[in-house]
Structure 1
């Protein structure tokens, strides 16, 4: 089985500002209320360069120790949490572990006060998601998962080919790769149902990216990746892709292209 990682460090850096603006402050505050009044251990899955820890740690009580999980050992070379503090200004402690989430043991989070992830759930399989839920339930550790793709994309101004690229991209998100069929846009409903069946509370919040003239570099990078994945899934779209992308790039350069990319955050906690 191949390792699961969030993405390249350059892509994570490019999207960092949009991610920070989109994540649910409401659910972060709710997680803070669920944590014990004592030193806390938190686990972040698919941690990448540590963006979730950088964003969330200052909103949570401490002292904090974070255990960062990723399937790509190289991504941790770009980890930078030197200036991260908790809500009282205390530095956080950080450990890293490289592992396959498909092999996550049910006792992986014992002793943890919370579990987090960002932009991860949609690239998991049903079995991997179930393992994460089961480990959270076993530890009774509240879980906050942010920025899972919903499959909803709105481009303004619209174009007749938007729907074809969007449908093909969503199919690409659900594809089977290296023997793994990913959840794609079904990730949050699948995860939420698994937690609900365990008797947990589940709260979901829409957290879309809203990109415009100020986000031109991210917008174009996202657009090229979106169309590229769609063409990979449906090669017959290749004949219209170049013209479509050139038109959209020119709009982005003029500052007239606006895109809303659907994401969702979910918080689950025991009754």
Structure 2
């Protein structure tokens, strides 16, 4: 199963966690810090899985922290509950609680007092209506949001292969398939979320967060390849025969230390905007128009 599939199991999440941590934008965390209270944080983690976002972000934030994780998969929530919580940046123990809940239908009271809402690898698995409801909940709380690792539909493999483009296109179509909840947004989710937050009175800052893996981590790369090609072939049945040969070749390249993959993502930081102010950080503005969403370039 790949990281872009609508539901992920705990083993896959554990396998990909180091790659996730390496990909997320530290620059957006630096931009976030000045807008957080200094007397203690209450952080709500949407689609928390096994708690990987708290393990990555809590050590970058100082002071007392209470994390509230929301997850609709009971098995993942059980894993999150069993994991020891991390320490804050200044060495303080954080507290956690876990809620089995559908994050797009939260009552306003659930986010009362929230300092921050976070999520990771979530937006592309949502429909437009689900994102609209989620944004309304966050805007109702009036807090910032940091949402990481949203796919944008671009994958690069080295060495290249003639079938790469067709596999990528079919996988993207799979990401935008119809489900019982409606049509998933897949690579279009970043634009939809940005527009919804802007409409709700937020400013938006984007940063690239490429997810990279190579043959130094054979298990992770093979697992990702299997899911990526499998989803593409499920979406486009004409790829079945060629896709099987393609996957076999790519796995040989993995075993031979000859393959690397980059899955491109965007991280997003949303900040409530007071009616009379625009906050400028360095040379990158907090944007007030959906026509002018500027990326942050790192490295």
TM-score (norm. length: structure 1): 0.95
**Post-superposition shift, 1:5?**
7.4
Q: CA–CA distance in 1 between the matches of 2:172 and 2:245?
A: 21
Distance in 2, matches of 1:101 and 1:143, equals 14
Corresponding residue for residue 91 of structure 1: 93
Q: Kindly tell me: are residues 162 and 207 of structure 1, through their superposed partners in 2, closer, same or farther at Cα, counting changes over 3 Å?
A: same
Give the conservation status (yes or no) of the 8 Å contact 1:5–1:71. Answer: no
Aligned to 2:42: 41
Deviations 1:141-175 (A, max 9, x none): 10000011111001111111111110000000010
- Which residue in the other structure is 2:51 paired with? 50
| Counterpart Cα distance in 2 of 1:74 and 1:212 | 29
Inter-CA distance 175–101: structure 2 relative to 1 (3 Å threshold): same
- Paired residue secondary structure (1:108): helix
**Pairing 1:17–2:13 present:** no
Deviation at 1:108, TM superposition (A): 3.4
Aligned to 1:180: 182
Instruction: Decide whether the 8 Å contact of 1:174 with 1:184 is kept in 2.
Output: yes
Partner in structure 2 of residue 124 of structure 1: 126
- Secondary structure of the structure 1 residue equivalent to 2:263: strand
Structural RMSD (CA):
1.5
1:219 counterpart residue number: 221
TM-score (ref. length: structure 2): 0.86
In structure 2, relative to structure 1, the CA distance for the partners of 1:5 and 1:175 (3 Å cut) is: closer
Partner of residue 139 from structure 1, selected from 138, 141, 157: 141
Structure 1: state its 5+ residue gaps: none
SS of equivalent to 1:91: coil
| 2:106 counterpart residue number | 104
Contact in 2 for aligned 1:85/1:92 (Cα 8 Å) = yes
Cα distance, 1:11 vs. partner? 0.2
Contact 2:153 2:168 in 1 (8 A): yes
Once residues 43 and 6 of structure 1 are traced to their aligned partners in structure 2, the CA distance between those partners, rounded to angstroms, is 20
Judge conservation of contact 1:43–1:66 (CA < 8 Å) in 2: yes
Q: Establish whether residue 159 from structure 1 lines up as the match of residue 161 from structure 2.
A: yes
**Could you tell me which of 220, 240, 248 is aligned with 1:246?**
248
**C-alpha distance in 2 between matches for 1:7 and 1:31:** 28
User: What stretches of structure 2 of length at least 5 have no aligned partner?
Assistant: 274-299
- Give per-residue Cα distances to partners, 1:169-190, cap 9 Å, x unaligned: 0000010122321110011111
Shift of residue 99, structure 1, vs aligned partner = 1.3
Is 2:72 aligned against 1:71?
Answer: yes
* 3-state SS in 2 of match to 1:88: coil
Task: Report the equivalent of 1:203.
Answer: 205
